[in-house]
A = this chain, B = another copy of it.
Amino acid sequence: MTTHARDFSASIDPVKLDRLAEVVIKVGLQLQPGQDLVLTSSIPALPLTRRIVEQAYKAGAGLVTPIFSDDEITLARFRYGQDDSFDRAADWLYEGMAKAFSNNAARLAVRGDNPSLLSGQDPTKVARANKANSTAYQPALEKITGFDINWNIVAYPELAWAKQVFPGETDDVAVAKLADAIFAASRVDNDDPIGAWAAHNAALRQRTEWMNGHKFHALHFTGPGTDLTVGLADDHEWMGGASTAKNGVTCNPNIPTEEVFTTPHARRVSGHVSSTKPLSYQGTLIDEISVRFEEGRIVEARAAKGEDVLHKVLDTDEGARRLGEVALVPHSSPISRSGILFYNTLFDENASCHIALGQCYAKCFVNGDKLSRDEIAARGGNKSLIHIDWMIGSDKVDIDGLHEDGRRVPVMRKGEWA
């Protein structure tokens, strides 16, 4: 019961925290007057979450409903819960969230999770609980992945996370350093964060337009331990930065974001690939992943750390062994240049090219908002309960774009745009 005992917000610049809250509402969500907001937050992130709620109401929000989680309560379940309770989830809560999204509520996640929270727990129970939660959350998640509504994920520097990122530092210094890294990556370390985001969104748009102009049939990744051909879905569209949800609101779903990304073809991926950064998945670290694909499907998977959990993840459903996203991030991205390994996908995926296992984003198709599930599947879009990004880029990786006639175009060389 010690995690609640101290407050580290004194280590965090309140001016930048205010700016981050403003960016979440005005850039991340573009919350509309009268629009409701459903947010999830851990309790230690309250200093940011309270500011976000204030900004939301100042922007004319309808009703803001926060759902808080607590690490000790999460752990209590794994420590003391009966075995047969691990296939359960709070369906009524997730169904309610799906209903709120159907009524056009926006969605925000404030994340500062301890990347190793569940490392000491039984991986079978962790996997069962994750699967039950994913299943219950599926109707709500579909409104996110289908981009029905404006949504955003943002980060707060919680102590346990900060200590994992900066293990050599005192608690206060670790939190202060992680806070500064978050502020820099989220572009609030300047006097005009709204303007900085406008410029950044314009730069990302240039990249997506170049990729969309080429309409590549596949991408070919080569590097240490990697020789991978990722087919791109028919009618795929590259996206990046701000984009417009089906409810008409233009938002930035991730803060930070550096990636341009699209939907790979679930049945046209082949070769082998090695991860270049550790992956923190639901409180478990998975490191040094290497997998082999045949016809889009992972047929062999290893990991130096967390291999158990990796195998359980791959067994979630048929789509868990196939790709739902491929994303390009230059090795010189600000997050990459910071040299910090965040153990958090929101940051690490923006420091490196990556692929994601599982569910694709329907919006990454030409006229994606008008396609049915079957039409998306026919074009090669993958379907799964999970969506897990992992990092495969580095300054040693080259990428070529392949046209259907075999023509090759350099896309990246040594991790930089060619």
Q: Enumerate chain A interface residues (CB-CB to B < 8 A).
A: 1, 4-7, 9, 33-34, 36, 43, 46-47, 49-50, 53-54, 57-58, 60-68, 70, 72-73, 76-77, 79-82, 84-85, 88-90, 92-93, 95-97, 99-100, 103
Please determine whether B92 and A96 come into contact, CB atoms closer than 8 angstroms: yes
* In contact, A70 and B62 (Cβ under 8 angstroms): no
Decide if B62 touches A85 in the complex (CB within 8 Å): yes
Task: Find chain B residues with CB under 8 A from A103 CB.
Answer: 92
CB pair A46 B89 closer than 8 Å: no
**Which of these, B66, B72, B76, contacts A73 with CB under 8 Å?**
B66
- A85/B65 contact (C-beta < 8 A), A46-B4, A70-B50, A96-B92 known: no
Task: Please state if B82 and A68 are interface contacts (CB–CB under 8 Å).
Answer: no
A43 with B68: CB separation less than 8 A: yes
Chain B CB count within 10 A is highest, among A34, A68, A73, for: A73
Q: For A100, give its contact among B4, B81, B92 (CB under 8 Å).
A: B92
Give min CB distance, A45 to chain B, whole Å. 11
Please, which residues of chain B bring their CB within 8 A of the CB of A9? 1, 4-5
Q: Are B85 and A72 in contact (CB under 8 A)?
A: no
B80 touches A58 (CB 8 A): yes
Contact A4–B1 (Cβ < 8 Å): no
Chain B positions within 8 Å of A67 at CB level:
67-68
Partner of A82, one of B34, B49, B82, B96: B34
Knowing that A7-B7, A62-B82, A92-B103 touch, tell me 19 more A-B residue pairs with CB under 8 angstroms. A1-B47, A4-B46, A5-B7, A5-B9, A36-B88, A43-B68, A49-B73, A50-B72, A50-B73, A54-B79, A57-B80, A57-B81, A58-B80, A60-B82, A63-B77, A65-B93, A92-B97, A92-B99, A96-B96
Please determine whether B65 and A90 come into contact, CB atoms closer than 8 angstroms. yes
Contact A68 B65 (CB under 8 A): no
A205–chain B nearest beta-carbon distance, Å: 33
Q: How many copies does the complex hold?
A: 2
Q: How far is the CA of A73 from the CA of B51 in the complex (A)?
A: 9
Is A57 a contact partner of B79 (Cβ separation < 8 A)?
yes
**Is there an interface contact between A88 and B76, defined as CB atoms closer than 8 Å?**
no
Residues of B near A66 (CB, < 8 A) are 68, 70, 73
> How far does the Cβ of A256 sit from chain B's closest Cβ, in whole Å?
25
**Complex Cα gap A7–B73 (Å):** 18
CA distance A251 to B409 in the complex (A): 72
What are 7 A-B contacts with C-beta separation under 8 Å?
Answer: A1-B9, A50-B70, A57-B76, A61-B81, A61-B82, A62-B82, A68-B68
Flag if B92 contacts A33 (CB, 8 Å): no
Among A62, A64, A68, chain B packs the most CB atoms within 10 A around the CB of: A68
Query: Which of the residues B4, B63, B82 comes within 8 Å of A88, measured between beta carbons?
Result: B63
CB <8 Å contact, B62 and A77: no
Of all chain B residues, which has the CB nearest A67? B67
Query: Known contacts A43-B43, A82-B34; is A95 also within 8 Å of B96 by CB?
Result: yes
Cβ of B63 and Cβ of A89 under 8 Å apart?
Answer: yes
Give Cα distance in the complex from A95 to B65, angstroms.
14
Query: How many Å lie between the Cα of A116 and that of B33 in the bound state?
Result: 30
A60 to B83, CA, bound (A): 9
Q: How far is the CA of A72 from the CA of B54 in the complex (A)?
A: 9
**Residues of B contacting A80 in the complex (Cβ-Cβ under 8 angstroms):** 54, 57-58
For the complex, what is the distance from the CA of A86 to the CA of B77, rounded to whole Å?
A: 36
Contact for A50 among B61, B76, B84, B88, CB less than 8 A? B76
Q: Which of B47, B63, B81, B93 is within 8 Å of A85, CB to CB?
A: B63
Shortest Cβ distance from residue A15 to the other chain B in the assembled complex, whole angstroms:
14
A81→B35 CA distance, assembly (Å) = 12
A50 neighbours in B (Cβ, 8 Å)? 1, 70, 72-73, 76
Chain B residues with CB under 8 A of A6:
7
Q: Is the CB of B63 within 8 A of A90?
A: yes
A72 contact set on B, CB distance < 8 A: 46, 50
What distance in Å separates the Cβ of A3 from its nearest Cβ neighbour in chain B? 10
